[in-house]
Amino acid sequence: MPSHLSITTHFRGKLTCQIRRVLPLYLAVLFLLLFFANTHFFTTPLRAAHRYRRELRYQQPLKLATTSIPKKIWQIWKVGPMAFEEAHADAAKTWPAKNPTYRYEVLTDDNALEYLDWHYGPNGFNRPDLVNLYREVNLTIVKADLLRYLVMYAEGGVYADIDVETLRPVDRFIPKQYNTHEIDMIIGVEIDEPAFASHPILGSKCMSFCQWTFAAKPRLPVMLRLIENIQDWLHELSRQNDVPIAALELDFDQVISGTGPSAFTRAVLEQMTAQNNGKEVTWDRFHDLEESKLVNGILVLSVEAFAAGQGHSDSGVHGGRNAMVKHHYHASGWPSRHPRKHHPMYNEVEVCNWNPECVAEWDKNVAEWKNLSKEEQDKRLAEKPAEKPAQS
């Protein structure tokens, strides 16, 4: 054999051995690259299995130490009652005054984490993931929403926003025809405007239960469902935006749908469905609700109970017989810190307060605006009166 062929064969053999040696490593690196590039694709079945196991847990029979909603009233604020501003103090005082046999407690920015460590730490539910989630979130309203749900899952009782005045004792929340031991949760309708369901802005929030006041037994599956829905949502937003949860920025509608009334409503309807042998429970059962309705342990009160005086949803007035609380809204400055879908000429559609004629006019004006020339748009904007600064 010629010497050059012998050399070629020798190197070809060595090259083949080297390829065989590094091929598994090469394939492993390639697999890892593909995996991390398509993590969402590969982990989808795992997440689906996790959700299935979780759903089974939400459907387990209740094992409660209490047969009725605990006599506890919870509020959440930056500071404790001794440092309340007058407006907050006036509303807050009504709760212990009208419910002298109830324990009254305010969680503050200073003691919330200690509370969660106690109840969700190793000596409690052993859910450090939920404590860490609360610790990670930087948005005030999201922390407040999450905290109220965590508290109500841990201990139950009555929750009310700091600017909510009670008009009736809590015992009046349950109509006389019901057995209090059969009621696991008390909620009320907030917005009942299903005619706007297809509206691109109002549709996601036109049917909701109120979460500025509600009551519940501890350890209800519906509360854990809500908490874990929020946990999943925040982690998914973090993944989509490629930022840590602490760096997330949310608009008004994201807050409403992610942790606020829409999220609360979605979890309640999901739990009602689960406790209804999987037969779907929809908003239709609560539209135009004139009297309270008990659905699988969840008592739903009419809109007048917790949301009177709104000027929409046939909410009635605070002086009505069925009005239980009055929301003063003076602590609700968070919307000004989370931008809404704002039209440069016609502002937010929410200023219509669910008035059909006003919303139709807003939609018509916005549609016509799109057909105007840039010059005409600029001219109209220049002639528009200056907006008043938002009240925080």
Give the per-residue pLDDT at 17. 63
Give the per-residue pLDDT at 59. 72
| Nearest Cα to Cα of residue 94 among 317, 300, 324 | 324
Region at 333 (left for phi over 0; alpha for psi -120 to 50; beta for the rest): alpha
User: The whole model's pTM is what?
Assistant: 0.85
Per the CB < 8 A criterion, the answer to whether 234 and 248 are in contact is: yes
Give dist(CA 159, CA 172) in Å, integer: 15
Decide if pLDDT at 43 tops 70: no
Residues 6+ apart with CB under 8 A from 127: 120
| Cβ neighbours, 10 Å, residue 71 | 16
Per the CB < 8 A criterion, the answer to whether 109 and 144 are in contact is: no
**How confident is the model over 164-175, as a mean pLDDT?**
97
Which residue would you say has higher pLDDT here, 51 or 6? 51
- Going by pLDDT thresholds of 50, 70 and 90, the confidence category of residue 58 is confident
Give the per-residue pLDDT at 168. 97
| Cβ neighbours, 10 Å, residue 284 | 10
Give dist(CA 360, CA 355) in Å, integer: 9
Domains of the chain, each with CATH number or no CATH = 57-336 (3.90.550), 342-383 (no CATH)
**How confident is the model over 180-195, as a mean pLDDT?**
96
Q: For the chain, what percent of residues have pLDDT higher than 90?
A: 75
- Going by pLDDT thresholds of 50, 70 and 90, the confidence category of residue 336 is confident
**How confident is the model over 84-106, as a mean pLDDT?**
96
Give the per-residue pLDDT at 63. 65
Decide if pLDDT at 369 tops 80: yes
- Going by pLDDT thresholds of 50, 70 and 90, the confidence category of residue 12 is low
Least confident range from 1-10, 111-120, 273-282, 302-311: namely 1-10
- Going by pLDDT thresholds of 50, 70 and 90, the confidence category of residue 27 is low
Give the per-residue pLDDT at 392. 40
Give dist(CA 230, CA 226) in Å, integer: 6
Residues 6+ apart with CB under 8 A from 117: 131
Least confident range from 12-26, 318-332, 334-348: namely 12-26
Which residue would you say has higher pLDDT here, 6 or 106? 106
Per the CB < 8 A criterion, the answer to whether 318 and 329 are in contact is: no
Match 């605990």 to its residue by tokens. Answer: 70
Decide if pLDDT at 347 tops 90: yes
